[in-house]
Amino acid sequence: MATLVVPTGTSQEDGRKRRSIFRSKGAVAAYIFILPYVVFFLAFRILPAIYAGVLSFAEYGLSGSVEFIGLDNYARLLSDDLFWNSLRVTGIYTVIAIPLTVAISLGIAALCNRTLRGMSFYRTIFFLPVVTSPVMSGIIWVWIFSQNGPLTWLFNTLHVPSPDWLQSEIFVLPALAIVSAWSNFGYDMLILLAGMLAIPTEYYEAAELDGTNGWQRFRHVTLPLLKPALFFVVVLEIIRSFQVFDTIFVMTGGGPVRASYSLTFLIYDQGFGYFEFGYASAAGMVLLAITLVVSLLQRRLLGRSTS
């Protein structure tokens, strides 16, 4: 029987190579370039998150005094109707916004997945809402939903009664979901379009030889092979829906009658409106826990879909 002989110095040589790579001029230059990002990430992301976690177990006074009170802030959250209302509002908004955004993104991505003249121009146009300021978008959409806006004019032209979108407890969340879909579909479209372009054309050619039409190819070829991208987009929209704040702050201020009072708006309102920084930090930790759970579920589901 032949015996496999492994050189004893292989691991030592690999270790020397790795150390030489990390000490090379290129590695030093790379460290220098990424150092500002690491410093800013630590200073404005990690350290504030850690401080908020500590502050959630304390009561912060306006004089700067900090008194640790244990789990009192979390116990207060569980007994606070305003907190449960914010969770309910966030859940309803998420249920409305995610299907709407994903459906629009998927449809536009399918339209852009064509070799037509000027398609790059249309893709750029569709992406413009992503880079538009959320405050500016909110102001524009307040006018669109107003009684003197184009949406009301369209409803009146069709002889259909137009609801008072932003002043109605029923229609305010669908209105905000429409604004979210308009603002975010361009980014999701690019992700889904990249997934579509990665699908080999041989699958479509084989399906076409079998006599399938365009809808059948989209349903039986595109959608199954697009699952990883779809899972990523869905989880991205879930996290984005949990953290919605800009449009609510600009368009409704949490109203009417706190019908759009989301969890992030509760954190802002309690922290900077009532100066309950410890209580707001506890609500922020709950939001962080929800986001982490959703991310872990996404990772598990995505692993199953690609296995």
- Burial label for 118, CB within 10 Å (0-12, 13-18, 19+), is exposed
On whether the CB atoms of residues 224 and 141 are closer than 8 A, the answer is no
Closest CA to 169 of 49, 79, 86, 89: 89
Q: How confident is the model at residue 259, as a pLDDT? A: 94
Q: How confident is the model at residue 183 (pLDDT cuts 50, 70, 90)?
A: very high
User: Does residue 32 carry a pLDDT above 90?
Assistant: no
Q: Residue 58: phi, psi to the nearest 5?
A: -140, 170
Predicted local confidence at residue 1, as pLDDT: 45
Read off the pLDDT of each residue in 22-44 and give the average, rounded to a whole number.
83
How confident is the model over 279-291, as a mean pLDDT?
92
Highest mean pLDDT among 72-76, 238-242, 293-297: 72-76
Q: Is a pLDDT exceeding 80 seen at residue 227? A: yes
**pLDDT at residue 303 in the model:** 61
The mean pLDDT of 246-260, rounded to a whole number, is 92
pLDDT of residue 100 exceeding 60, the answer is: yes
**pLDDT score recorded for residue 209:** 86
Write down the pLDDT at residue 98: 93
What's the rounded Cα separation, in Å, for the pair 226 and 106?
10
If you average pLDDT over every residue of the chain, what do you get? Answer: 87
Q: How confident is the model at residue 82 (pLDDT cuts 50, 70, 90)?
A: very high
- Exposure class string for 185-199: b at 16+ Cβ within 10 A, else e: bbbbbbbbbebbeee
Q: What is the pLDDT of residues 108-140, one digit of tens each?
A: 999 888 877 878 888 889 999 999 988 999 999
Check: CB of residue 251 under 8 Å from CB of residue 168: no
Which two structure tokens, joined as six digits, stand for 57?
């177990």
- Report the pLDDT averaged over residues 193-209: 89
Looking at residue 22, its pLDDT comes to 59
